[in-house]
Amino acid sequence: MITEQAVLEALRKVEDPEVHRSIVELEMVKRIDIKGDHVTVEVLLTVAGCPLRNKIDQDVRAALASIPGIGSYDVVLGTMTEEERSRFAAKVRAGQANPLQIAGQPEVPPLLRPDTNTVFIAVASGKGGVGKSTATANLAVALSRLGYRVGVIDADIYGFSLPNIFNLGDRKPTLVENMLMPVQQDGVKIMSMGFFVQENAPVVWRGPMLGKMLRNFFAEAFWGELDVMLLDLPPGTGDVALDVHTLLPKSKEIIVTTPQSNATEVAARAGTMALRTNHEILGVIENMSYFEANGERHYIFGKGGGEKLARELRTDLLGQIPLAVATASGSGIFPSGSEQALIFESVAKAVAKKADLRK
């Protein structure tokens, strides 16, 4: 005979895909009806249009199917009331209680606490258009495939491109009781200014506002536990790089360049900035290194720039990414198994080692 206890035990293994805690613990299971070997379960979602509804539905079904002796089952997805949502938010917040919090002082976002386990890596370039955002996104996906919990912040406020690279369409972070749930794609949690501005509307920001926005992304988004957070910096050596230094003094850095000598010269300036702010440079990624056709490599943008830059900055060349033909899907994430994805996998392994990432 199937007991409520057995159903609860099975459901305990299902995690909310955003919060990464058990749906039982988060009180999302509202009802369990057992009639013979038929089980009906009602699960509450925070909002009706929850973008991860299918994932929850699938996971709950898989958990129910695993119960010994179960015949058939139904899953009903409901929506929380205001009160239930407040309780849910309180539980989520309690899960990231701040041991360093001093009464009366402004809350320090968990990720910014001195004892955080999250390693921050800023990805910089001298010039725009060298593929810095593409490199950030693909490195994030490669790290996630290696089993790390990865977040990425699009700090490239003027030229935010992560939503497009991840092919997110209209997806936006969901708001649960003042907490923003970053959008998740390819195993990566993503936050971008692009989620909050109208398409094509120019963003006119001044320096201090940029820092504030970054701070908000740390403070108001629910990141949960992360092993590594990548930051896609705007090109050049402007305000945001300094803000990142103030906010994240221990941030490490990766410099992206193309093989052209003029690109590497400006990239060197971004590197010098990193050294001046005492950010450890993990290495250089050379992008658009060559185009391979019929087994032959064509060095369209010249040769050797990445290596020269790595030498100048006394760091390693982490990888050379060949040019790819645009994919039909429009996604900027290189398909798994492609030449580019394999190189990013080896870059990710080198980065994990140098930055001493822990799972």
Ligand X SMILES: Nc1ncnc2c1ncn2[C@@H]1O[C@H](COP(=O)(O)OP(=O)(O)OP(=O)(O)O)[C@@H](O)[C@H]1O
- Please name every residue paired with 151 in a beta bridge, in sequence order, or none if there are none: 189, 229
Told to check if 319 binds ligand X by CB under 6 A, we report: no
Told to check if 309 binds ligand X by CB under 6 A, we report: no
Token pair in block for residue 339: 């030449």
3-class DSSP state of 195: helix
Q: Shortest distance, CB of residue 316 to ligand X, whole angstroms?
A: 19
Told to check if 185 binds ligand X by CB under 6 A, we report: no
First to last CA, the chain: 40
Question: Scanning residues 4 to 43, which ones bind ligand X (CB under 6 A)?
Answer: none
Give the burial string for 338-359 (b: 16+ CB within 10 Å, else e): eebbebbbebbebbbebbebee
Told to check if 192 binds ligand X by CB under 6 A, we report: no
Q: Shortest distance, CB of residue 245 to ligand X, whole angstroms?
A: 19
Q: Which of 221, 321, 341, 348 binds ligand X (CB under 6 A)?
A: 321
Q: Shortest distance, CB of residue 340 to ligand X, whole angstroms?
A: 6
Nearer to ligand X, 224 or 235 (CB): 235
Q: Shortest distance, CB of residue 127 to ligand X, whole angstroms?
A: 7
Question: Scanning residues 85 to 104, which ones bind ligand X (CB under 6 A)?
Answer: none
Contacts with ligand X, 323-352, as mask; x by CB under 6 A: xx-------x--------------------
DSSP state of 22: B
Told to check if 161 binds ligand X by CB under 6 A, we report: yes
Number of residues engaging ligand X in binding (CB under 6 A): 18
Nearer to ligand X, 242 or 323 (CB): 323
Question: Scanning residues 124 to 143, which ones bind ligand X (CB under 6 A)?
Answer: 125, 128-134
Alpha carbons within 13 angstroms on the beta-carbon side of residue 317 total 19
Nearer to ligand X, 221 or 288 (CB): 288
Treating both helix axes as pointing N-terminal to C-terminal, what angle do 53-65 and 4-12 enclose, rounded to 10 degrees?
130
Question: Scanning residues 225 to 254, which ones bind ligand X (CB under 6 A)?
Answer: 235
Tell me how far apart the alpha carbons of residues 153 and 133 are, in angstroms, rounded to a whole number.
10
Strands (E), the chain: 29-35, 38-45, 72-79, 119-124, 150-154, 174-176, 179-181, 183-185, 188-192, 228-232, 252-257, 281-287, 291-293, 296-298, 317-321
Q: Which of 144, 287, 315, 320 binds ligand X (CB under 6 A)?
A: 287
3-class DSSP state of 319: strand
Q: Shortest distance, CB of residue 118 to ligand X, whole angstroms?
A: 23
- Range in contact with ligand X (rule: CB under 6 A) among 21-29, 46-54, 121-129, 171-179: 121-129
Token pair in block for residue 30: 């509202």
Residue nearest to ligand X (CB): 128
CB neighbourhood size of 227 (10 A):
20
Binding region for ligand X (CB under 6 A): 125, 128-134, 156, 159, 161, 235, 287-288, 321, 323-324, 332
